Structure 1
Amino acid sequence: MTSPFGLAATTGMGSLPGDDFTEWTKYVLDAVTIPFVPELPARPYGDMLSRSMALLLELAGDLQPAGWRLTGGSDPRASMDQRRARSLLQQDLDTLEEVADGYTGPLKIQSTGPWTLAATVELPRGDKVLADHGARRDLAEGLAHGLEQHVAEVRRRVPGADLVVQLDEPALPAVLAGAVPTASGWSKHRSVDGPDAVELLSQVIEAVAPAITLVHCCAARPPIEVFRKAGAGGVAVDVAQLTEAAWEQIALAVEAGTVLYAGVVPTTGPIPNQEQAATTLVRRWRELGLDPELLKQVVITPGCGLAGSPSRADAQARLELLRKTAEVVGEKAEE
């Protein structure tokens, strides 16, 4: 399968430092080939979970000291926190509509995936949604419906955009392994099997069709097979973290037509040059015997979000390195 983004494609994972949404939106529209709607967790209600809770139009929740909690009601007015999160999201969409006026091309939006949401958000009685089969199904349905409406609204505001939807699932490996702590901290929630994981994830992916979808997970062994079976068109990983087994799963996915979003630029520490950033990806590609032509279709990204960058300048330098790295990867594919 040919990548829908062409050669030397680049994007960010979503989160960025600071609180100036307007300036970051202007910047990413020019800095990467797949612009993305910035997530700025330095702002109140600007973090990944709050953005996703804002999408849950059929479920109410509030923000406790321990994090987000469902309140058990279906009336959105039951949660001041949720209304504030929604208000911020709407303000950002107003800004996006203005800044991206006339834009045509791919545009990526991000949301927490259903399993990470279930492993993070609490039930009214205090344990994670993950503990309750019915509640986690309701949460996934609410997310699917809310994200479907969100996609439609972004399309309306930026009609020239070809939408890409990224689902962030950092907690899914722990969910599958039965490693998510219970509220008491003395035990773990029961593991979820692969078919169940696929079912809820695919429900969300199907809701946003025909938008291009990818699932982002920075773990050492991201569940690539679950992502593929759920219907994700792409997988986003941190190349520096991957185990041998993970690379084998990626090889199978790439050969089956899945787009790889390769996190090759580190999010912290010294900034490498483009040759250094491309090295691990190119070396592993060759070791796995993958078709060099497929390497040209890899989307080059940072290893993860950049909200932890010490400054705007640092985050920009890492984003600007992406294009140079993508060019090097393309050249290496020709060798």
Structure 2
Amino acid sequence: MSDQGLPWGAGAATGLGSLPGADIAEAQRIVLGELPDLPHLPELPARGPGADVIGRTGGLLVELPIELYAARWRVAPRPGRDLRRARDLMERDLDQLAEQAEEYAGPLKIQAAGPLTLAASIELPIGGRMLRDPGALRDLAGSLAEGLRGHVEAVTRRLPRASVLLQLDEPSLPAVLAGRIPTESGLGAYRAVESGDARALLSTVIEAVGVPTVVHCCAPHVPLDLLRTTGAVGVALDLSLLTDLDPLGEALDAGFGLLAGAAPTTPTGRPPTSADLADRVRTLWDRLGFPRRRLAEQVVVTPACGLAGADAAYARAVLAACRDAGRRLSEE
């Protein structure tokens, strides 16, 4: 743990979740090999429905079954085949993790969709997203909180020496707050969720799960002021989308952690080097005006977002570059 009280050591690096391919054993070998100080449970959406972030998280919900209908997830009257598949994939992943990381004794990150992004993605049985119904939204947050608490317990049972860090993926959060989630017709948009309501929903989940939590948003206009007051310990964001540094500076000054998305996730030539990534993070830190001694403790180097769209060689090279960039920053 850092001197700032954050749940990772100085110079840490990690991935944000998804990787290419469909072989979970190989994906976990890569993560444990390339990210030894802060590994994460990989997600492999190429395996199909139930391995995507919405279906995967939907499989964790308690007393709120979901199913696929016309290639979209919706609330189901009872558990069915789609839900069993999502849960079976997760069980397989956790068993494989236990086999490969049996003796691991450091921080371990797991990921799940947050309540606002889930509500913007899952449909009600009568049509329309859960986002349209405040009661359904509250029920969803409660179900997610209970399900994630059980998920953390399942991980801890398998890896009793590890300490779990939760990442809530909220890519839809800025659009939800701005009233920019389109209705099914495409002719309108759902009413904006008030900041106070969004804060309460996130806090419900974070407080109930009871482990350090970071919120990941790889979209423009991340609501940092809101996230600082949810009980989260940090934020994960794409550095290339930052336009206003003041809110980030205020969050970091208050001790918030930053998972700095420094590495591009789609190949545009050679993979970035560790020097490239360290320079990018260092330049941002210096622009914010903070002392260098805090950098390696407060910042974790990551890809800009998930790596499912990359090829295996590029994904592995990016994770290795993030690891070595973190080490460079910790040696300064």
| TM-score range relative to shorter protein | over 0.9
Q: Give the 4+ runs in structure 1 shifted more than 4 A.
A: none
Distance across 2 between alignment mates of 1:294 and 1:222: 23
> 1:121 aligns to what?
122
> 1:52 aligns to what?
57
Correspondent of 2:70 among 41, 60, 65? 65
Correspondent of 2:7 among 4, 16, 25? 4
> 2:162 aligns to what?
161
Tell whether the 8 Å contact from 1:219 to 1:242 is kept in structure 2 after alignment: no
Aligned letter for 1:47?
D
> 1:181 aligns to what?
182
What is the percentage of aligned positions where both structures have the same residue?
A: 48
Aligned letter for 2:85?
R
Aligned letter for 1:40?
L
> 2:198 aligns to what?
197
> 2:258 aligns to what?
260
> 1:40 aligns to what?
44
**Per-residue Cα deviation, 1:196-224 (whole angstroms, up to 9, x for no partner):** 01000011111111x21100001221111
Correspondent of 2:22 among 11, 16, 19? 19
Aligned letter for 1:36?
H
SS where residue 231 of structure 1 aligns? Answer: coil
Aligned letter for 1:65?
A
SS where residue 85 of structure 1 aligns? Answer: helix
> 2:280 aligns to what?
280
Q: Cα offset for 1:319?
A: 0.4
Tell whether the 8 Å contact from 1:240 to 1:280 is kept in structure 2 after alignment: no
Task: Specify every segment of 5 or more residues in structure 2 that has no aligned partner in the other structure, as ranges.
Answer: none
Aligned letter for 2:230?
A
Tell whether the 8 Å contact from 2:58 to 2:66 is kept in structure 1 after alignment: yes
Correspondence 1:232 to 2:232 = yes
Q: Cα offset for 1:327?
A: 3.0
Distance across 2 between alignment mates of 1:191 and 1:61: 24
Tell whether the 8 Å contact from 2:174 to 2:220 is kept in structure 1 after alignment: no
* RMSD over aligned Cα atoms: 1.3
Distance across 1 between alignment mates of 2:84 and 2:275: 46
Distance across 2 between alignment mates of 1:280 and 1:91: 37
Q: Cα offset for 1:6?
A: 2.0
Aligned letter for 1:61?
I
SS where residue 139 of structure 2 aligns? Answer: helix
Normalising by structure 1, we get a TM-score of 0.93
Normalising by structure 2, we get a TM-score of 0.94
**Per-residue Cα deviation, 1:222-268 (whole angstroms, up to 9, x for no partner):** 1112211111111001111111x2x2111111111111100111111
